[in-house]
């Protein structure tokens, strides 16, 4: 078991190299081991390019015969943009396959494992399974539900403020935290803000790291199409901009934004505003697998209230702003503590002089809250 864990951890490390470039595919790494020695490695670099298993087996060449293959996701068994990996593994003569987890994709879902076993290959599933699931949490959510994985990112003071009363917010966190925030932008398919953030900050919403990274699709939630046609994000070459609005939006303002290249989605309203749940369904149908939400407080609170946040990432700076500041989360309209949304901490990391808190919805707590007493 220790041996399997050692090589699977290497496969997971390789898989991480594809972060931000494989969507809508999962991140996958593969390691070929012969007589205790790694003879081939590979990872999925980009959607449409060879899968990890194919890269690793090509590097191993003839040494793959009689070897073991470690991979963090069940090998595929269907034709997509590339041929089935299961068939490649069988032809290579691998004797044992260790997979961290089964593939939740209905097109695979155990069929790859079955094909390998029918070919006489020993298959082990479940080594470092939880780590593998976390790595591909975006893929798992999207492939099962058809909706994007939603990450709410907040940069706040020690006392939970995202800006001064005047709106000043540059810079609450230090430079290392801001660099990390741009890295996050390169990891997810889209970045989302409310129109209030656009009006107040006029952000670019691009990934501005020295090394070449992709820019996310930029989504502005704007029920009344108040977004200025001369907003900075429309004057830079940062990629797609989507405006999520409603039928009540002024048609002339919508036309002006379309002329600037904005893609306009008219979403059915909920209480006069964009129905965020319906918006997520629409975005999923457009092939957007993940959304990084960067504010402001009204949008964040609406997503939390609607149970639409899959993960919270909160940067906390060691500065106290006080009660005059703007809260990081707006009103949730809960009257009792038992009604307040609960999250579970997963990790706490130091980013320069700030902290990064990672938390997930406490689903067990929600289930328990339905019990008497």
CATH number of the domain that 35 lies in?
3.40.140.10
CA nearest neighbour of 29 among 55, 64, 60, 66: 55
> Is 369 contained in some domain?
no
- Return the CATH number at 205: 3.40.430.10
| Residue 187 in marked binding region | no
| Residue 205 in marked binding region | yes
> Is 178 contained in some domain?
yes
Active site (annotated) includes residue 53: yes
> Is 189 contained in some domain?
yes
Neighbours of 174 (CB within 10 A): 15
| Residue 296 in marked binding region | yes
Assess whether pLDDT exceeds 80 at residue 53.
yes
If asked whether residues 46 and 83 sit together in one domain, one would say yes
* Helical ranges in 62-104 per DSSP H: 85-92
Burial level of 293, CB count in 10 A (0-12/13-18/19+)?
buried
CA nearest neighbour of 225 among 192, 273, 293, 284: 273
Q: Which residues of 201-237 are buried (b: 16+ CB within 10 A; e: fewer)?
A: bebebbbeeeeebebbbbbbbbbebebeeebebbeee
> Is 275 contained in some domain?
yes
Long-range contacts, stretch 18-21, CB < 8 angstroms, 24+ apart: 18/43, 18/44, 18/45, 18/46, 19/187, 20/186, 20/187, 20/188, 20/213, 20/214, 21/45, 21/46, 21/47, 21/214
Assess whether pLDDT exceeds 80 at residue 20.
yes
Q: If pLDDT is split at 50, 70 and 90, which confidence band does 132 have? A: very high
Residues in the chain: 373
| Residue 73 in marked binding region | no
Last residue of a domain, one of 139, 163, 191: 139
> Is 64 contained in some domain?
yes
> Is 366 contained in some domain?
no
If asked whether residues 9 and 108 sit together in one domain, one would say yes
If asked whether residues 164 and 285 sit together in one domain, one would say yes
> Is 112 contained in some domain?
yes
Active-site residue, selected from the candidate residues 41, 49, 53, 358: 53
| Residue 51 in marked binding region | yes
pTM here is: 0.90
Last residue of a domain, one of 96, 123, 139: 139
If asked whether residues 118 and 187 sit together in one domain, one would say no
- Residue-range definition of the domain harbouring residue 101: 1-139
What average pLDDT does range 110-119 have in this prediction? Answer: 91
Task: Tell me how many domains the chain contains.
Answer: 2
Question: In the prediction, which pLDDT does 332 show?
Answer: 83
| Residue 186 in marked binding region | no
If asked whether residues 185 and 306 sit together in one domain, one would say yes
| Residue 246 in marked binding region | no
If asked whether residues 107 and 35 sit together in one domain, one would say yes
| Residue 328 in marked binding region | no
**CA neighbours closer than 13 Å in the CB half-sphere of residue 109:** 7
- Looking at the chain, the whole-number percentage of residues with pLDDT higher than 70 is 95
CA nearest neighbour of 197 among 303, 276, 296: 296
If asked whether residues 27 and 77 sit together in one domain, one would say yes
Last residue of a domain, one of 116, 139, 162: 139
pLDDT digits (tens, 9 = 90+) for 332-356: 888 888 888 899 999 999 999 999 9
Question: In the prediction, which pLDDT does 371 show?
Answer: 39
Question: In the prediction, which pLDDT does 79 show?
Answer: 60
Neighbours of 28 (CB within 10 A): 31
What are the backbone angles phi and psi of residue 314, rounded to the nearest 5°? -120, 115
- What token pair was written down for 209? 């790291």
Averaged pLDDT of the chain: 90
- What token pair was written down for 327? 């809260």
Question: In the prediction, which pLDDT does 109 show?
Answer: 79
If asked whether residues 129 and 260 sit together in one domain, one would say no
């Amino acid at each position: 078991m220790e041996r399997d864990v050692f090589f699977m951890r290497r496969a997971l490390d390789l898989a991480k190299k594809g972060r931000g470039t494989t969507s809508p595919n999962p991140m996958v790494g593969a390691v070929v081991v012969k007589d205790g020695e790694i003879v081939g490695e590979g990872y999925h670099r980009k959607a449409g390019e060879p899968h990890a298993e194919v890269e690793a087996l090509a590097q191993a060449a003839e040494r793959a015969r009689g070897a073991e293959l470690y991979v963090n996701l069940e090998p595929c068994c269907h034709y997509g943009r590339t041929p089935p990996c299961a068939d490649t593994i069988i032809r290579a003569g691998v004797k044992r396959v260790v997979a961290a987890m089964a593939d939740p994709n209905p097109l695979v879902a155990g069929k790859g494992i079955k094909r390998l076993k029918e070919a006489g290959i020993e298959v082990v599933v479940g080594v470092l399974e939880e780590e593998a699931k976390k790595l591909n949490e975006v893929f798992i959510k999207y492939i099962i539900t058809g909706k994007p994985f939603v990450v709410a990112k907040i940069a706040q003071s020690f006392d939970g403020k995202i800006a001064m009363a005047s709106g000043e917010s540059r810079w609450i966190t230090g430079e290392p935290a801001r660099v990390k925030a741009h890295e996050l932008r390169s990891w997810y398919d889209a970045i989302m803000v409310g129109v209030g953030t656009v009006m107040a900050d006029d952000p670019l919403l691009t990934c501005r790291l020295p090394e070449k990274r992709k820019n996310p699709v930029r989504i502005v939630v704007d029920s009344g199409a108040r977004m200025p046609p001369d907003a900075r994000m429309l004057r830079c070459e940062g990629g797609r901009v989507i405006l999520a609005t409603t039928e009540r939006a002024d048609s002339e303002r919508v036309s002006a934004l379309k002329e600037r290249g904005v893609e306009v989605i008219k979403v059915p309203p909920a209480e006069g505003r964009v129905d965020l749940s319906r918006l997520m369904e629409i975005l999923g149908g457009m092939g957007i697998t993940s959304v990084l939400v960067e504010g402001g407080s009204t949008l964040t609170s609406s997503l939390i209230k609607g149970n639409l946040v899959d993960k919270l990432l909160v940067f906390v700076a060691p500065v106290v702003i006080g009660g005059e500041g703007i809260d990081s989360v707006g009103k949730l309209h809960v009257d009792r503590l038992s009604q307040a949304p609960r999250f579970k901490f997963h990790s706490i990391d130091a980013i320069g002089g700030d902290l990064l808190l990672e938390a997930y919805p406490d689903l067990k707590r929600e289930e328990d809250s339905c019990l008497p007493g």
